[in-house]
Structure 1
Amino acid sequence: MEKSLFDKYGGFSTVSKIVMRLYDQLLEDDDVGPFFDDVDMPRLIDHQTKFVASLMGGPASFTDTHIQRAHHNLEIAPLHFDRLKEIIAETLGEFDVEEDDIETVLAAFEGRRKLLVDG
């Protein structure tokens, strides 16, 4: 049986480090950083660790309804979603995730675009 990307790259230990680095990058970004003003970051990082784990085939899962509810009050434009994908790719690369595996994670993320992007 083939290992999931979650297992291949070290499970929650590595995913947690990836998410921490991802948020370092996101908070500094002029396009997506403002979305995280006044957000309970420890709670968000916990949720995002589980979400990224799920994108990598890990044990956590999020329903479409859960994702939509969490983002319904945000005005996420295509530009924001695309920028987030760029930052995710850059961050995964920093952790030596192979290019094909980055593309797999980005495809899983892209599959949720309609749940997050306005219009």
Structure 2
Amino acid sequence: MSKTLYEKCGGFRTVSRVVMTFYDKALESDQIGDYFESVDMKRLIDHQTKFISAILGGPASYSDERLRQVHAPLDLSHADYDEMARLLAEALGEHGFAPGDIQLVMSEIEARRAPIVTKGD
């Protein structure tokens, strides 16, 4: 039986580190940094760690409807989403994910664009 990417990468501990690196980058981003000014980062990091874990085949799941509800008030654009994806790919690479594994993750991220992006560019 083959391992999920979640198991292969080292599970929750690795995903947590990736998410922390991602948010370090996101907070510095001119494109998306402002979205996090009034956010409970501890809570957001917890949710994002569970979300990325789910994408990697870990023990959580998020429906498109839930993603839509959470992100709708933010009025995110395609450019915002592209920046988020770029920063996440960087974070994955910095934590030793192989290029093919990063591509798999990014395909899963791209598949969730529609419920998250609400503003046209």
The 3-state SS of whatever aligns with 2:62 is coil
* Residue equivalent to 2:63: 63
Could you say which structure has the higher strand fraction?
Answer: 2
For 1:36 and 1:90, the matched residues in 2 are separated by: 19
RMSD: 0.7
CA deviation string 1:50-80 (max 9, x = no partner): 0010111111111111111111101111111
Q: Indicate the percent of aligned positions where both proteins have the same amino acid.
A: 45
* Residue equivalent to 2:12: 12
For 1:100 and 1:62, the matched residues in 2 are separated by: 24
For 2:106 and 2:79, the matched residues in 1 are separated by: 15
- Give the deviation of 1:25 after TM superposition: 0.5
CA deviation string 1:73-116 (max 9, x = no partner): 01111111111111011110001100010000000010010001
For 1:116 and 1:99, the matched residues in 2 are separated by: 25
Aligned residue pairs: how many? 119
TM-score when normalising by structure 1: 0.97
For 2:86 and 2:50, the matched residues in 1 are separated by: 20
Letter in 1 for 2:57: G
Question: Gaps spanning 5+ residues in structure 1: where?
Answer: none
